[in-house]
Amino acid sequence: MATVADGGEAWVIEAVRRRMGPPPTGAIGIGDDAAVLPVPPGGRILASQDMLVEGIHFRRDWMPPERIGAKAVAVNVSDMAAMGGRPFALLMALALPGALDRGWVGRLLDGVAEAAAGAAAPVVGGDTVGSPAGVVLDMAILGTAERPILRAGAQPGDWLVVTGPLGGSAAGLACLEGGAVWPGATALETAALRRHACPPDRLDAGRVLAGCAHAMTDISDGFWTEVDALVQPMGLGAVVDQELLPVWPEAAEVARRVGAPTDAPLHWALTGGEDYELLAAVPDERWPTLQRELWAIDVEAVVVGRVERTPGLRLVRGGQRVSWDPASQGGFDHFGRR
């Protein structure tokens, strides 16, 4: 096995440069002290950053390296989608243990390069460093938006809209924790693993929603947490209808296979996190037109609830309040508390 330490920094930099292709027209890319980028017109740029840490966000024995690289890009792209924006560049900082197999690193970079190309967000710079323990992959993304949609701005009466199924990522995680290995998993497991490892590209949906949404975010930390983040700072509340919630269809079967309780799919959908669908607060009179536009681009967006004046989040079913304590389920806390 050829290790990263054998090749040294020169190998890593060359491995990155070879895969990431030339910089965009008019830009200076990888290899200088900083990238030089022409800014698309519009006058404002979007910038965000998402870090994946081995042992926290991924395990090397749980998925192929291409998927880890692609997911790092996808979660950053999701932040642009959540603003109604369009990415134009990525930076990538990569910390690698010296004993790591160079073949594994090459495949990780293949995943980054393919996903970056798919999002039209070329990797124009970054950093490559050693790591005494696990792999760390931190990407920063730059984009533009004609009309950036913030988390703040929801109004009483707005529909709460999500752009696709929820709970699939948590179902995939349950499969991994139950011992599923990718590749080699069953068809059902693979479907769940894909929900976990391959966040959807919602850039087009984000731009359509940005046409009229009052507020928007992506569902990274769990639906319930994200709804709260949209309404609580505005002094508002929300009601969510359990029967409207687009629980990922295969979740019930996954729950049976992994021996999870029958209500696991609901909890996965409400608090599981990492679904990376968009959540938007949309004025109700605009919704019918908007939904048609979204379905026209194959985004099966649905209403799941409504923003209300009364603070707090309420889950209802058949018009009745459901007694459900989100605190008992918790969202994902990166630092170990639930």
Please state the closest distance from residue 256 (CB atom) to a copy of itself, in A: 31
Q: Which of 68, 70, 72, 92 binds a copy of itself (CB under 8 A)?
A: 92
Binding string, 133-162, against a copy of itself, x = CB under 8 A? xx-x-x-xxxx-x--x-xxx----------
Q: Does 318 engage in binding with a copy of itself (CB under 8 A)? A: no
The string of DSSP codes covering 225-255 is: HHHHHHHGGGT-EEEEEGGG--B-TTHHHHH
Structure tokens at 240: 């969510």
Contacts to a copy of itself from residues 1-20, by CB under 8 A: 4-9, 12
Number of Cβ atoms within 10 Å of the Cβ of 326: 18
Binding string, 72-91, against a copy of itself, x = CB under 8 A? ------xxx-xx-x---x-x
| Nearer to a copy of itself among residue 91 and residue 192 (C-beta) | 91
Contacts to a copy of itself from residues 163-222, by CB under 8 A: 216-218
Please state the closest distance from residue 277 (CB atom) to a copy of itself, in A: 13
CB burial readout 264-286, b (16+ within 10 A) else e: bbbbbbbbbbbbbbbbbbbeeee
Sign of CA dihedral 47, 271, 280, 289: positive
Cβ-based neighbours of 104, under 8 Å, separated by 6 or more: 60, 65
Q: In terms of Cα–Cα distance, which of 122, 153, 108, 117 is closest to 12?
A: 108
| Nearer to a copy of itself among residue 191 and residue 307 (C-beta) | 307
Contacts to a copy of itself from residues 47-66, by CB under 8 A: 47-51, 53-57
Distance of CA 66 to the CA centre of its chain: 16
Binding string, 98-137, against a copy of itself, x = CB under 8 A? x-------------------------xxxxxxxxxxx-x-
The residues that bridge with 317 in the sheet, in sequence order, are 320
Q: Classify 282 in phi/psi space as left (phi over 0), alpha (psi -120 to 50) or beta.
A: beta
Please state the closest distance from residue 286 (CB atom) to a copy of itself, in A: 21
Q: Which of 1, 25, 34, 320 binds a copy of itself (CB under 8 A)?
A: 34
Number of residues that bind a copy of itself (CB under 8 A): 74
